[in-house]
Amino acid sequence: MTPLIQARDLVKEYPGPHGLWGGGPPVRALRGVSVAVERGETLAVVGESGSGKTTLGRCLLRLTEPGAGTVAFDGTDLLALKAEELRRWRRRAQIVFQDPGAALNPRMTIGAAVREPLIAHGIARGSDAAQRVAEALTEVGLDPTHADRYPHELSGGQKQRAVIARALILKPEFLVLDEPVSSLDVSVAAQVLNLLADLRDVRGLTYVLIAHDLRVVRHLADRVAVMYAGNVVETGPVAAIYASPRHPYTAALLSAMPVPDPTARQGHVMLRGEPPSPVSMPAGCPFEPRCPHPRKDRRCEAERPEFREIEPERRAACHYADESPAVSSWPNAPRPSSSAPA
């Protein structure tokens, strides 16, 4: 079966920071990323800031032009589409952004915002459009009367529902959800995640869910791709990743997650330092400088690990990924304060 969306070897560079004496070296946000998502599947892309997850999401929708690589949607080469073809294709794929307050025009009513795609694509107008807006608002759990309100009159959760209604009104097949609940309150975030799950099941939608919070991922995703410094370092079914991460970075991310239970011995692997800056990358494994894996050796410093199949449906970019890293046996990295030179 061909995936609905398939990206191969995506590379994206941004110009380096401007200095007084010319630009710095380019920032490589994506360093050859390949992902594939089957129809009806939800792939979560997880990583910390600077990992390239948002750039990947934008490249999948051609909101950002990748520097190299290919993106195929339902067999069509997305990067070859001309402007008019691309515009027509946009009905099939939409995006939901992190901050609904920023995604809605404060001077436009909710109804006008949700209606806009219909007008822009010449699909409906007048009372027909109003009818569709009312349906879309109802579908996301808002009241049709919300159409006359302005964004500031709505709560954060209601605004995000309106943004989802706008994304769905063209009846797309594919949605990129970029941190869809990270600006919402805990009690409200769960409502929106449940809504997204319902919409997927009812409409057979395909999602790429971008998240830094693994708790969000667990409920919505079928598969997970973990990104670190512009590369995918591990992929696999969500349950398998949680049960036995094979890349030490995945293991560290999982164990850094605070557990809301004071009796749980929070055995977090303390990762030293922070993600490498996208302008200066280690020669070998990009994770090597922070890696707490006891098997770490010369090879990790010198040789970049291949992103290889570990078992069916699971891949990881670690020389020692065949052994599931037994996190409990890892020595905790020295605490930052004791590592500071005197």
Partner 1 sequence: MSAPLLSLRHLTVDYATDRGTARAVDSVSLDVASGETVALVGESGSGKTTLALSLLGLLPEPPARVAPESRIEYQGANLAGGDNASWRRVRGREMGMVFQDPSLSLNPVLTVGSQVAEVVRTHSKCTRREATTRAAELLAMVGVDSPALRARQYAHQLSGGLRQRAMIAIALAGEPKLLIADEPTAALDVTVQAQIVELLAELRRRLGMAVLLVTHDFGLVAQMADRVVVMYAGQVAEMAPAPVVFSGAAHPYTQGLLLAARGGAGSAERRLAAIPGAPPAATAWPSACRFHPRCARAWNHCRAEAPQLERVSEGHDARCWLVSEPAGETGGRPS
Q: Which among 22-30, 60-68, 79-87, 215-223 is the span making contact with partner 1, rule CB under 8 A?
A: 215-223
- Of the candidate residues 127, 280, 329, 337, the single one contacting partner 1 (CB under 8 A): 337
Which of 1, 20, 202, 264 touches partner 1 (CB under 8 A)?
264
- Out of 39, 92, 121, 218, point to the residue binding partner 1 (CB under 8 A): 218
Among 167, 153, 220, 166, smallest CA distance to 189 is for 220
Q: Applying CB under 8 A, does 212 fall inside the site for partner 1?
A: yes
Query: Is residue 300 within 8 Å of 236, Cβ to Cβ?
Result: no
Do the Cβ atoms of 164 and 200 come closer than 8 Å?
no
Is 225 near partner 1 (CB under 8 A)?
Answer: no
- Do 45 and 5 contact (CB within 8 A), yes or no? no
Q: Are strands 22-23 and 314-316 parallel, antiparallel or unpaired?
A: unpaired
Exposure b/e, 19-58, CB count within 10 A at least 16 = b: eeeeeeeebbbbbebbbbbbeebbbbbbbeebbbbbbbbb
d(CA 50, CA 228): 8
- Determine if 309 is a binding residue for partner 1 (CB under 8 A): no
2 lies in the binding site for partner 1 (CB under 8 A): no
Q: Which stretch binds partner 1 (CB under 8 A): 24-32, 93-101, 257-265, 312-320?
A: 257-265
Among 105, 138, 324, 339, binds partner 1 (CB under 8 A): 339
Site string for partner 1, 136-155 (x = CB under 8 A): -------------------x
Choose, by CB under 8 A, the member of 86, 190, 240, 281 that binds partner 1.
190
Which tokens hold the place of 337? 């304060």
For residue 18 the two structure tokens come to 């401007």
Measure the CA–CA gap between 215 and 189, rounded to whole angstroms: 11
Among 127, 263, 280, 329, which residue interacts with partner 1 (rule: CB under 8 A)? 263
User: In angstroms, what is the minimal distance from the CB of 117 to partner 1?
Assistant: 26
Long-range contacts of 123-131 (CB under 8 A, 24+ apart): 123/91, 123/170
Toward partner 1, which CB reaches closer, 132 or 159? Answer: 159
Look up residue 147 and give its amino acid: A
> At closest approach, how far in Å is the CB of 50 from partner 1?
9
Q: Is 123 in the site for partner 1 (CB under 8 A)?
A: no
Binding window for partner 1 (CB under 8 A); candidates: 27-35, 77-85, 95-103, 186-194: 186-194
Query: With CB under 8 A as the contact rule, which of the stretches 95-103, 107-115, 206-214, 321-329 interacts with partner 1?
Result: 206-214
**Rounded distance, CA 315 to CA 246, Å?**
8
Rounded Cα distance, 195 and 211, in Å:
17
Residues 268-287 that bind partner 1 (CB under 8 A): 268, 270-271, 274-275
Q: Which residues in the 59-118 window bind partner 1 by CB under 8 A?
A: none
Q: Distances in Å between the alpha carbon of 36 and those of 19, 42, 287, 292, 313? A: 38, 11, 24, 30, 12
Which of 11, 240, 256, 281 touches partner 1 (CB under 8 A)?
A: 256
**Is the CB of residue 253 less than 8 Å from the CB of residue 323?**
no
Q: Which amino acid is at 74?
A: D
Q: Give residue 108's Cα distance to chain centre.
A: 28
Q: How many residues bind partner 1 (CB under 8 A)?
A: 46
Instruction: Give residues in contact with partner 1 (CB under 8 A).
Output: 48-49, 155-158, 185-191, 193-194, 197, 212-215, 218-219, 252-253, 256-264, 266, 268, 270-271, 274-275, 335-337, 339-342
